[in-house]
Amino acid sequence: MTYKLGLIAEKIGAELIGDSEIDINGINSLSKANANQLSYIANKKYIDSLVNTNAGAVILSENMKNDCKTNALLVSNPYLAFAKVTHFFKSNNTIPKANNLNIDPSANLNNAVLGPGCVIGKNVLIGKNTTLESNCIIEDNVRIGNECHISSSVIIQRDCQLGNNCTILPSSVIGSEGFGNALDENKCWHRIAHLGKVVIGDNVCIGSNSAIDRGTIDDTQIHSGVKIDNLVHIAHNVVIGENTAIAAKTGIAGSTVIGKRCMIGGMVGIVGHLNITDDVTINATSTVNRDIKKPGIYTGFFPLMPHNAWKKAGMWLTKLDKITRILNIKLKDTK
């Protein structure tokens, strides 16, 4: 796909300095871009690359325009503008002609594009301009909105709901049974049937191989604008507030409520039945085991150290209660 630079500037609301008629056919890094490619800079530490770039044009902010020797697109937020531009050049998969489909006659597909091997259950409703790639399974009573893209091998289980303009990447599972079990008098586990569903808002993106469990009785809720990375597990009855972003390998235990505009780093573990307020950032690999009531940045781990030093620190941590008791006794004796 090729665009005139002037059209790109118009689409992202940029001030164009240079030739609006040059053709741009792709995006590349500052060091590798050629005369028909677009690049961007959002950090001054790459200023040398900007000075020496062969890019046809660069997205940048006002304070770096004097170092740009090529066509410039001036914006207040270069990274956001770059994010928008990437979609102009994204190649979408061509969906093969559908075959071996298993579609219940009660489904209302609204001319959705279906890849080969899809299975569609009873009373399914799929919105306009929605695409399902190959081997998707959409179970009974599912509702999928308009302009959604469901990648290959995604499973959306019974009764779940998706809003408009949602993207689910390959092999994710929406609406699986949660991990709920009860012990009997013989210490044997009995699985709890989960009767709720998963309700997903608009403009939600769910990464590959992620799993979102249905609610036990109430619904698991993913509100509009949420972005979920690959390999994330969201347990039953969890509520994720609007425009929260969750990085890969994070696990959120059941019945936790996370507020709006939170940012959760990779490999974070959040225990169940917690409340996390709006505008919270949790750094990667942290463990969250208590409510977070104030916005801010939180970290829940010790700094990295050599293993032998960590073993010594761990040994002292296990003895802190004993040390405190001894010190309190000695303080009393000195009084």
> Which positions are catalytic?
236
What is the torsional sign of CA 152, 147, 109, 172?
positive
Structure tokens at 291: 């409510």
Cβ atoms 47, 30 nearer than 8 A: no
Sign of CA dihedral 303, 308, 311, 316: negative
Backbone angles phi, psi at 44, to 5 degrees: -65, -15
- Nearest Cα to 107, choosing from 84, 86, 130? 130
Closest CA to 161 of 200, 204, 134: 200
- Please say whether the beta carbons of 139 and 145 come within 8 A: no
The secondary structure of 255-282 as a DSSP string is T-EE-TT-EE-TT-EE-SS-EE-SSEEE
Tell me which residue has tokens 């191989």.
Answer: 209
